[in-house]
Amino acid sequence: MLTLRLPLNDPDWETRAADLLDAGKLVAVPTETVYGLAGDATNAKAVASIFEAKGRPSHNPLIVHVADLAMAQRYAEFDRRAVKLSQAFWPGPLTLVAPLHSDTGLADAVTAGGDSLALRCPDGALRQLAERLDRPIAAPSANRSGHVTATTAEHVLADLGGRIAMVIDGGPTRVGVESTILDVRGEASVTLRPGGVSSDALEDVLENPVSTMDAAQTAPAAPGMLESHYAPSKPVILNMLPNDLPAGCTYLGFGGHAVEGHASLSAAGDLGEAAANLFAALRELDGRDSAGIAIAPIPNIGLGEAINNRLKRAAAPRGD
């Protein structure tokens, strides 16, 4: 299959992408976070194609993207807390896990047979497509399962070229890490995956603390919870200071921790810049001739929570 690359500023991009999705095909679409591999969430064949294209485990559920709160409420039960959060952060990088309604018409594989649904209203092109089609769009990150996440059209094509119908090229994504996933099914609000919305921001809206779940589970409740994930092909070493850099490794610095001739997430120590650069930097260093990738310490505050979450998974032992 030839994968067509169409710029987001092409006047026909929305029509052509919507037609492909309507026909059950897959289209990679930029969001404010990362590129998503979009398929009609109500079409079982299209959803199966997402798993096949990514090589994604069937027990790993998908995020469903909607045009607005009203569309989300067709498919899942939103309590007052979920409504409040969606009003504060949608469109934006927050995914809410809520109880699934019965007889929604969604493909069973979307929830991996579970009784809950992960929902997000994204900012930009993917939201436009959901609104145009008037139905939800399943869209995990547009890369092979377990690989470093795609934040440019080039990354998508490197992983999925020839496997999908089209990629909409919107340039590098703005946030650079995936959405925060918050479980609002029980009385407590639980972060299943840190991301583009910080815990502090969530707690400010909820006026209550948010807890964090250890996401290493046999059966993930939401995407992005597998222990080894976002993984370069080379070993990744975390919290490494420049003076301790192992021989043969490349270095990914941050702030004042830097090595000349190597790379940096943000020389200024800006966590927003670091998040936006994270996956592109991992891909670039993975392509170098080196024994591994050593990474500077990242403060675990704000977007640093999401960065450290991804780095921990990138460094985790690989499964068979």
pLDDT of residue 212: 87
Q: How far is CA 24 from CA 13, 21, 109, 301, in A?
A: 17, 5, 15, 41
Strand 180-183 and strand 166-169: the pairing is unpaired
* Single-letter amino acid, residue 183: D
pLDDT of residue 214: 58
**Cβ-Cβ contacts under 8 Å for 262 (sequence gap 6 or more):** 250, 251, 252, 253
Q: Nearest-CA neighbor of 71 among 58, 90, 84?
A: 90
Residues of the chain with pLDDT under 50: 215-219, 320
* Single-letter amino acid, residue 22: D
**pTM for the whole structure:** 0.92
pLDDT of residue 213: 76
pLDDT of residue 217: 47
Under 8 Å between Cβ of 272 and 305: no
pLDDT of residue 320: 46
Domains of the chain, each with CATH number or no CATH: 4-212 (3.90.870.10), 236-315 (3.40.50.11030)
pLDDT of residue 92: 98
pLDDT of residue 171: 98
Residue 15: both structure tokens together: 């029509």
Under 8 Å between Cβ of 241 and 257: yes
